[in-house]
């Protein structure tokens, strides 16, 4: 991914070498008030993704996540950690996903998602923002210690 900066006086019509179109990624904040209606939520996710060219995901807390990648629904299990504070878990997830992608852009989405999932699983085990921010070593330790349910 690269950016090409231009202005009205010295404009360019060609992007810099290495530029790639960004594939859209959407994380929805869809929540069901009735756990018996998760199938309705899943169907809404698939319908949302049908009109979108990229990846659409919905976090389900202790139940994991749903992702629609290139039209295919994936159920991704959660790590069985004892949650102490879930505030900011989504922010940790998104930051870790971007970190993983920028560290290894050729890796498949499953690798980035797995890294981000482990980072947020690490984070919710601690109170407060500073204690929860994981290092790459913390993420690897979480992946090694816990098995998704």
Q: Give residues with Cβ within 8 angstroms of 33, minimum separation 6.
A: none
What percent of the chain has pLDDT above 90? 23
The answer to whether 74 and 55 are in contact (CB under 8 A) is no
Spatial contact of 115 and 96, defined as CB atoms under 8 Å apart: yes
Whether the CA torsion 14, 19, 23, 29 is positive or negative: it is negative
Paired tokens of 113: 């998602």
Residue 57 has pLDDT above 80, yes or no: no
CA dist., res. 137 & res. 69, Å (int): 28
Q: Is the pLDDT of residue 42 over 90?
A: no
Looking at the predicted structure, is the pLDDT value of residue 115 above 90? yes
Residue 134 pLDDT more than 50?
yes
Q: Structure pTM?
A: 0.70
Name residue 68's beta-bridge partners.
Answer: 56, 73
Cα dihedral 110, 86, 64, 134 sign: positive
């Amino acid at each position: 991914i690269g950016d090409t900066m231009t202005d009205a006086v010295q404009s360019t019509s060609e992007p810099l070498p290495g530029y790639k179109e960004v594939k859209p990624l959407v994380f929805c904040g869809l929540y069901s008030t009735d756990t018996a209606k998760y199938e309705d939520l899943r169907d809404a996710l698939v319908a949302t993704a049908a009109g979108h060219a990229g990846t659409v995901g919905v976090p389900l807390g202790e139940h994991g996540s749903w992702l629609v990648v290139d039209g295919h629904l994936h159920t991704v299990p959660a790590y069985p950690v004892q949650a102490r504070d879930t505030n900011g878990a989504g922010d940790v997830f998104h930051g870790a996903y971007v970190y993983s992608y920028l560290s290894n852009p050729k890796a498949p989405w499953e690798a980035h998602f797995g890294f981000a999932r482990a980072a947020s699983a690490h984070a919710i085990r601690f109170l407060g923002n500073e204690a929860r921010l994981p290092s790459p070593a913390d993420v690897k330790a979480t992946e090694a210690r816990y098995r998704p349910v």
